[in-house]
Structure formats: structure tokens, C-alpha cells
Amino acid sequence: MWGYWLFIAYEALFMHLSLPTDALAMSESDYVFIICVNTLILIAVLMKRYSNDQKFVVFIIGGLFLRLFFMFWSEYCSHIFTLPNSGADELTYYYNAMSNMVKDKEFTGYAQFFAWQANIYGLSKIYGKFINVLLSVSSITILRRILIKLDIDYDVQTITIALACFLPNFAIISSLLLRESSIIFLISVSAYYFIAWWQKHGCRNLLFSLVASVIAAWLHSGMVAYTIGILCVAVASKKTMNDHKYSIMSIRTLIVTVMTAVAILAVLMNLDIGLTNYFKGAESLSDIVSISDAYEDGGSAYNANVVSNDTTIGFIVNTPFRILYFMFAPMPWDWRSATDMIAFLFSGLFYGYVFLKSIPYVFKKNRYPLVSAMFMIALLLLMMFGWGVSNSGTALRHRDKMVIHYLILFALIKNDNVVRSKRLTRR
């Protein structure tokens, strides 16, 4: 895929040189034609690069076409049916990027990132969406490399890749002009280097993992929890001959993790570099609760609190319920249409299943410590977003920022089941 990205970069420079004088973009038909040609080239690249794995080729090309279908639908058929998360947010990024280019008005995060792209190939919604589709496909190829690095059983790899290609919400959100595709790509890169560090202890791998996660946090400050999680695991884990040992149930681990998380968060908030804007201005638990309550708006808003939030005990009691709501939302009793039902069945149940299946590994000190480490990172993310989100639609988007992380967890758990089953068969 890296060679293909190099081709896209050269093509973008040619597109820049082809832009009419003082024009922000080429014609829409030109972009559609380029997308079609680039898609055919990508298919040829994938078929040649992965010719020894026909199942992967079928799934990745199927996932590509699914994303392209959603991309063109959201652009030209939204008057028939509007896809979840398409519409207002896409236009916001588009017009903010235009302001960056025309009025020299600075918008940070994804609007700025999209403006940087548009300065090269022109301001085009449809081509910006295509770049996001390519980022999604690249994330899936990185996931495959991670599964091979972890020596995951081939059948488990196949199931995991199929999920990555065809999970509906992941496919939809990858085809829209939103920051999620960029964040998912960065988290997949971060996860790849984190696992490389776990296996080889190389500080360079840990550094690359942290850099990728920090860039993801620049795009959305809630992802700073991923950076904190990696650092907590790095500080609390113990080196062995082949990898690391990590147990959440260890008193030492819990103390080190909490102290590391608090220290890093305090430093980042004092530096005020934009990585902790998720709870900007929060100086106490009541401030966090007030910020969280402010997100309870719209038809898909929910309230996951079971007791009053005005005490520390109330905050602690409500946290597990907010995590569960964030993972599974929209809950069945909150369904408003078939779209909500599909979101619950093909998004909420997947994340909830993986999280709940990971919990037993926390209590087994010496069995698959990597699952425990990745569970801790997932837990920190859930705590961050559980308190930062009170809306089912927003929860859907934020959950998919973690999709690669959860797919790796899914593969590890399924692989452990396969390995144990084979051992019992041999006996």
C-alpha cells in the first residue's frame, strides 16, 4: 500500500498543477473519473500484493466496494436516504477547510488537515471522502500485518478481516468526510508499533506508537486516553525473555497505572497544547459532570446515571453504567428506527462482546498478558468517552475510533480459544 500512496501523492501534485488559475478545485466529473481510475489501480495492486491469500483479496476488495458505494451514496443520493453521521458534520469540515484556504481563518484538527490536502489536489468533498476510504483500506492491511505478527490462527485472521471489511458502521464512517478514518489509521499504526515493542522491547517502536497516538489526539483530544494507556502499560509492565508481563490485578500495576495516568494528564493539562480539550475547563468532578450533561442533546441523547453525580461516590458508581451505555448504545429501549436496531446489532454488540470476553483474562495473571494490557488501554478510552458522550449517534462515531484495537483483542481471544481447543484434541 505504501507504493500506492506514493502514486497518490505524485498524482495529487499533478492535479495541483492542473488546477485552473485562481480556482479552488477541478470539475466534479474530473474527480469522479480520477477516483474510478485510482480504484482500478488499487484493485490491481491488492491482487498482486496479496496473491498468496485469495480470501484476504476477496474481503478487502469487497470492503473497498462497500465503502465506495456508501461514499457515492452519501454524495449523490442522500435525498433518498441519509446515512448515519453524514450531512452536517461533513459540511462543517468542508466549509471550515474552505475558510482556512480562502479567508486565512485558522481551524485546527481535521478541518486544518483537510485544508492541507485540498491545497494540493483542490477543494473537493468527493475526493476527500475517497482519501478516507483509502485510509480505511490501509488500516485493514495494517491489521492483517498485526495478526500475522501475533501468529494468529489463519481461520481467526479470516474472521477478523471479514469483520473489519464489512462491519456496517465502520464501512459507512470510513466513506464520509469525517476525521474518523484518519484517527483509525493512526491508531492502527500505533497498535502495530505497540505490539512490536511488546515483542521486541525496542524503545524506537514505543516512540513510534506514542507519536501516532499523539497525532490521533490532535485530531480528537479524547484519544489522548490511548496515549496515556500505552504509557501506563509501558511503565507498569515487566520485561521477560520474549515479551512483557502485565496484570491489571497486581496491586503494583494498579498503583503505577493510576499514578502514571494522573501525572501524564496533569502535565498535558498544564502544558495546554490542545490534547486535553475534551474536558477543557474541568477542575473538579462536578465540572466533568457538567460538561458531560451538556452533551445530552438531540433525539438520540441518553442519561446513563443511576445515582446523583454530585459526590465522588456517585461519580464512581455511575462510571460503569456510562461505560456500558457508551459501548452498547443505542440501547433497545432507546431505538427510534431500524437504523438504531442495526447500529446496536452490528456495532454495540460487537464492542460489548469483545470487552466482556476480555474481562476473564484480567483475573488470570499469567495467561495472555497482552490481552490484559490492551484491555487496560480500552478501559481508559471507555472511561474518557463514557463521561464525554451522552448521545447514541456520537457514541457510534467515537466507538469506531477504537475499531482496530477491538479487532486485535477479538483475534487474541479467539486465537486463545483455538489453541486451547487444539491442545485438548491432542490429549
Three-state SS annotation for 178-237: CCHHHHHHHHHHHHHHHHHHHHHCCHHHHHHHHHHHHHHHHHCHHHHHHHHHHHHHHHHC
Q: Is 274 exposed, middle or buried (0-12, 13-18, 19+ CB in 10 A)?
A: middle
- Determine the pLDDT at residue 278: 54
- Which residues, 6 or more positions from 334, have their beta carbon under 8 angstroms from its beta carbon? 300, 302, 340, 392
Name the stretches of the chain with pLDDT < 70: 21-23, 103-105, 240-258, 260-312, 365-367, 424, 426-427
- The secondary element (H helix, E strand) that includes residue 239 is strand 238-239
**Hey, what's the cell of 210?**
506514542
DSSP string over 137-167: HHHHHHHHHHHHHTT--HHHHHHHHHHHHH-
Q: How far apart are CA 359 and CA 323, in angstroms?
A: 14
Q: How far apart are CA 273 and CA 292, in angstroms?
A: 22
Three-state SS annotation for 352-374: HHHHHHHHHHHCCCCCCHHHHHH
**Which DSSP symbol is given to 382?**
H
8 A C-beta contact, residue 201 and residue 239: yes
Q: How many Å is the Cα radius of gyration of the chain? A: 22
- Determine the pLDDT at residue 47: 95
Residue spans of alpha helices (H) in 19-53 = 28-49
Q: How many domains does the chain have?
A: 1
Q: How far apart are CA 387 and CA 389, in angstroms?
A: 6
- Determine the pLDDT at residue 267: 61
Q: Is 166 exposed, middle or buried (0-12, 13-18, 19+ CB in 10 A)?
A: middle
8 A C-beta contact, residue 327 and residue 382: yes
Q: Which amino acid, one-letter code, is at 126?
A: I
Q: How far apart are CA 334 and CA 353, in angstroms?
A: 20
Q: How far apart are CA 425 and CA 427, in angstroms?
A: 5
**Which DSSP symbol is given to 427?**
-
Q: What is the pLDDT of residues 67-95, one digit of tens each?
A: 999 999 999 998 888 888 887 888 888 88
- Determine the pLDDT at residue 308: 64
- Determine the pLDDT at residue 27: 85
**Hey, what's the cell of 28?**
466534479
Q: Which amino acid, one-letter code, is at 3?
A: G
Question: Is the pTM above the cut of 0.85?
Answer: yes
SS3 265: helix
Of the CA atoms within 13 Å of residue 36, those in its CB half-sphere come to 7
Find cell 459540511 and name the residue: 91
**Hey, what's the cell of 286?**
462536578
Q: Domain limits at 82?
A: 2-426
- Determine the pLDDT at residue 243: 61
Q: What is the pLDDT of residues 261-308, one digit of tens each?
A: 666 666 655 555 555 555 555 544 455 555 555 555 555 566 666 666
SS3 content of the chain, % helix, strand, coil (to 5): 75, 0, 25
Q: How far apart are CA 285 and CA 289, in angstroms?
A: 6
